[in-house]
């Protein structure tokens, strides 16, 4: 048996998204509706009812892990996913290029994403990677990821993940000073390093030719690095040790590759998988089909719907869902061996268009394959899934998928 898990980031919605409909309800999606007819649907709370999930904790839970026990912070997944060699004792952060301006002796936030900077990130990376700090014995490693995103690793003795963030999350607010969360020397030393790095990133980036050119062309400069999600290495049992299978991941974003790598997946690189609205969905489907010939399980992450919802753009989210249907599922469904393959499709959370962020609303989930008992639902959306035969549950989408493939370990005798 083969299995394919597809998670569309921020897939779920609210009826306020599109004139009384969610984006899924408004979207034309004949391939997903046809797939729903041959399978069963329900609603899944990514972590649990009423818990507003982050993408990292949601993915851990959907993959069958307990984030309350294993989660140390997002930064480590960003660093692993981007290819940094994370070692015990390293402290990892997720990072954003942002735009700030000087005002009354402080740096105030203009844009958290530097206008979703679309090019030149490697030039910024070269300036920041290897930055020298006065905090003795602290090595800085930085890698740019997609758009404004990046990953930061601090290496040295006596460092701690117990430090706050520098991102104020509010336009016009002053950039935060990272504070130690624990009352010990390591946390204070790490916070000092983060604050020095933040100040130096502004000094190094503000006058770069790249940023001068962006300002001249009417774009926002990427003139500071903001960090959050401090984390050290988690200890996560691999899917191979639990299920005895080999799995691969296809994902454009470093976070999702990082979560999968930490869980024992291998990476299938798809050069045109950008992690944005411009990602090549047909190429992802082709790579998934090819991956099924070598792996027991292929996990595909699709990001764009979440980006659109964070930007309060319901039309763009609906359009991207239609692209998922036409380009990804239109490529995939007719070429899957349905006698020996099970498929699951869901989201990692709801991202409501008017709210512009993750909410605790459950998301629809679909399972199809030879061992799935079909229900009577014929369309794939939130309200239809509430009538589905799988009812409502929390997390555990991958274990359910692998149970259909007869690959779940037995609990007890």
pLDDT tens digits, 87-110: 999 999 999 999 999 988 899 999
Residue 412 counted as domain residue: no
Residue where a domain stops, chosen among 181, 198, 231: 231
CB 312 within 8 A of CB 14: no
Q: What is the pLDDT of residue 135?
A: 83
The reply to whether 77 falls in a domain is no
Strand-pair partners of 240? none
58 with 150, same domain: the answer is no
Return the pLDDT at 413.
84
What CATH number is associated with residue 25?
3.40.720.10
Please give the average per-residue pLDDT across 179-202, as a whole number: 95
One domain, residues 29 and 156: no
Question: Angle at which helices 55-62 and 254-262 pack, to 10 degrees?
Answer: 40
210-223 in b/e form (b: 16+ CB < 10 A) is bbeebeeeeebbbb
Do 346 and 304 have their domain in common?
Answer: yes
**Domain co-membership, 223 together with 273:** no
Q: Within this chain, do residues 65 and 171 fall inside the same structural domain, yes or no?
A: no
Q: What are phi and psi of 23, to 5 degrees?
A: -65, -35
Residue 411 lies in a domain: no
What local confidence, expressed as pLDDT, does residue 159 receive? 95
pTM of the model: 0.87
Q: Are residues 9 and 102 in the same domain?
A: no
pLDDT tens-digit readout, 13-49? 999 999 999 999 999 999 999 999 999 999 999 999 9
pLDDT-above-70 percentage for the chain: 100
Looking at the predicted structure, is the pLDDT value of residue 245 above 90? yes
Boundaries of domain holding 358: 2-71+236-404
* Residue 171 pLDDT level (bands cut at 50, 70, 90): very high
User: Of 231, 264, 281, which one is at a domain's C-terminal end?
Assistant: 231
CA atoms within 13 A on the CB side of 323: 21
Are residues 111 and 257 located together in one domain of the fold?
Answer: no
**Euclidean distance between CA atoms 7 and 224, whole angstroms:** 32
Dihedral class, residue 195 (left if φ above 0, else alpha if ψ from -120 to 50, else beta): alpha
Beta bridge partners of 393: 44
Quick check: helix, strand or coil at residue 221? coil
Residue 410 belongs to some domain of the structure: no
Query: Where do the H-state alpha helices sit in 265-325?
Result: 281-291, 304-310, 314-323
DSSP 10: T
Look at residue 95 and give its three-state secondary structure: strand
Cross-strand pairs, 163: 180
* Mean pLDDT, residues 243-265 taken together: 94
> Is 153 a domain residue?
yes
Please indicate, yes or no, if residue 9 is contained in any of the structural domains: yes
**Residue 283: inside a domain:** yes
CA angle in degrees (0–180, nearest 5) for 249-250-252 = 125
What is the C-alpha end-to-end distance of the chain, expressed in Å? 24
> What integer pLDDT is reported at residue 136 of this predicted model?
85
Query: Do 30 and 130 belong to one domain?
Result: no
Instruction: For the chain, give the mean pLDDT.
Output: 95
By the 8 A CB rule, do 143 and 151 touch? yes
Shared-domain flag, residues 149 and 292: no
The reply to whether 76 falls in a domain is no
Same domain, 259 and 372: yes
d(CA 186, CA 91): 11
Phi, psi of 311 (to 5 degrees): -90, 10
Residues 114-140, buried b or exposed e (16+ Cβ, 10 A)? bbbbeebbeebeebbbebebebeebeb
Kindly tell me if the per-residue pLDDT of 68 is higher than 90: yes
Average pLDDT for residues 242-258, to the nearest whole number?
94
Residue 171, burial from CB neighbour count under 10 angstroms (0-12, 13-18, 19+): exposed
- In the DSSP assignment, the letter for residue 73 is -
Instruction: Name the 3-class secondary structure at 35.
Output: helix
Answer with the one of 231, 265, 297 that is the final residue of a domain.
231
Question: Which residue in 95, 55, 7, 75 sits closest to 234, CA to CA?
Answer: 75
Give the confidence band of 145 by pLDDT, cuts at 50, 70, 90. confident
- Kindly state whether residues 66 and 100 are assigned to the same domain: no
Q: Do 336 and 241 belong to one domain?
A: yes
Residues 6+ apart with CB under 8 A from 180: 160, 162, 163, 164, 187, 188, 190, 191
Interatomic CA distance for residues 128 and 144, integer angstroms:
10
Provide the domain count of the chain. 2
Contact 205/199 with Cβ under 8 angstroms? no
User: In DSSP terms, which residues pair with 144 in a beta bridge?
Assistant: 150
Closest to 399 (Cα-Cα) out of 237, 235, 281: 237
Report which DSSP code applies to 335.
Answer: G
Condensed to tens digits (0 to 9), the pLDDT of residues 305-318 reads 999 999 999 999 99
pLDDT at residue 147 tops 90:
no
Q: What is the DSSP string of 142-174?
A: EEE-STTEEEEEEESSS--S-B--S---STTPB
């Amino acid at each position: 048996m083969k299995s394919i898990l597809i998670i569309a980031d921020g897939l779920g919605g609210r009826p306020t998204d599109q004139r009384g409909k969610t984006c899924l309800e408004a979207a034309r999606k004949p391939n997903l509706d046809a797939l729903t007819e041959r399978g069963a649907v329900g609603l899944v709370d990514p972590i649990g009812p009423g818990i507003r999930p982050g993408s990292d904790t949601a993915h851990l839970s959907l993959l069958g892990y307990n984030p309350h026990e294993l989660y140390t912070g997002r930064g480590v997944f960003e660093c692993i996913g981007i290819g940094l060699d994370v070692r015990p004792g390293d402290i990892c952060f997720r990072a954003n290029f942002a735009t700030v301006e000087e005002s009354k002796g402080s740096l105030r936030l203009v844009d958290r994403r530097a206008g979703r900077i679309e090019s030149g990130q490697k030039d910024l990376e070269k300036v920041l990677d290897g930055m020298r700090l006065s905090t003795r014995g602290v090595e800085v490693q930085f890698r740019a990821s997609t758009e404004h995103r990046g990953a930061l690793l601090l290496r040295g003795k006596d460092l701690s993940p117990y430090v706050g963030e520098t991102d104020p999350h509010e336009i016009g607010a002053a950039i935060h000073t990272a504070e130690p969360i624990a009352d010990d020397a390591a946390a204070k030393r790490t916070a000092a390093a983060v604050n020095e790095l933040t100040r130096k990133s502004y000094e190094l980036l503000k006058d770069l030719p790249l940023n001068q050119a962006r300002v001249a062309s009417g774009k926002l400069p990427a003139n500071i690095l903001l960090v959050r999600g401090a984390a050290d290495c988690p200890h996560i049992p691999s899917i191979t040790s639990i299920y005895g299978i080999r799995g691969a991941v296809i994902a454009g974003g470093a976070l999702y590759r990082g979560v999968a790598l930490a869980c024992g997946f291998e990476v299938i690189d798809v050069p045109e998988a950008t992690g944005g609205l411009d990602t090549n969905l047909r190429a992802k489907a082709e790579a998934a089909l090819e991956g099924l010939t070598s792996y027991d399980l292929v996990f595909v992450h699709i990001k764009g719907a979440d980006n659109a919802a964070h930007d309060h753009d319901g039309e763009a989210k609906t359009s991207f869902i239609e692209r998922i249907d036409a380009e990804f599922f239109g490529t995939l469904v007719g070429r899957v061996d349905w006698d020996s393959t099970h498929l699951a499709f869901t989201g990692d959370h709801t991202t409501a268009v008017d709210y512009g962020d993750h909410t605790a609303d459950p998301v629809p989930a679909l399972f199809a394959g030879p061992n799935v008992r079909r229900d009577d639902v014929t369309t794939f959306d939130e309200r239809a899934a509430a009538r589905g035969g799988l009812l409502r549950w929390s997390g555990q989408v991958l274990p359910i998928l692998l149970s259909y493939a007869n690959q779940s370990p037995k609990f007890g005798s």
